[in-house]
Copies of this chain bind each other. A is one copy, B any other.
């Protein structure tokens, strides 16, 4: 199922080998497989360079297993986010080479290690220790998608010298992911220190008037530093995916 198949189908139609009806049906059915409760987007590898990633939250264990099983038949690398240990156990019985990254709550199947040069790396930073689960979701995502990743954790702005000491790695990084809860100020300070794309991930870490991550979210959206863009609260996956796309541009 690739671009070549698609091209052949279209040529067959034009030469009259297959009818309009058949062509439409082939094209319609080609790019995804319908499990009833889910439509696996097999087209995504072709369209976006990586297979569909399974968002496990809100799905039953049974649904997750069936989707991963289906993806595993056509893809070498699979990623499932927000997976419970229970989901992983069930998946592992069907896909024995699946691994579980506990802190990131991710199931990973990585049969074909994408090679990545270390000179173009993504830097993942956190303001605090409690932001690590989200940061690791971002880091694992980027790594599985074939990027070199470096981590600098717990450099929140209340001890600015800890951040300033990272000056060199900041200048060396190609894309920077900043993960921070509470007031989320780290994104602005980093954004002002570099001329790199900064992807800010607000986290729900905090209490009281952080309102589940709202404080960090608003803070990052209002960053006085240009060059900062924001993803959803706790959305490490989205940040990792976007960083990967940018990092692999030439």
Contact = CB atoms under 8 A, between A and B. Distances in A.
Interface stretch (A70-78, A85-93, A104-112, A153-161): A153-161
Interface of A: 14, 20, 28-29, 31-32, 36-39, 41, 43-44, 47-49, 52-53, 55, 57-59, 63, 67, 127-130, 132, 153-162, 164-165, 174, 182-185, 188-189, 191-197, 199, 202, 204-235, 237-239, 241-242, 245-246, 249-250
Contacts of A185: 157, 183-185, 188-189, 219, 224
A63 B231 CA distance: 27
A37 B165 contact: no
A177 B36 CA distance: 17
A96 B194 CA distance: 32
Given A162-B39, A213-B208, A242 B227 contact: yes
A165 B43 CA distance: 13
19 contacts: A43-B161, A55-B130, A67-B129, A158-B192, A159-B192, A183-B220, A183-B223, A185-B188, A208-B232, A217-B221, A218-B218, A221-B230, A223-B238, A227-B245, A228-B238, A229-B229, A229-B230, A229-B239, A249-B249
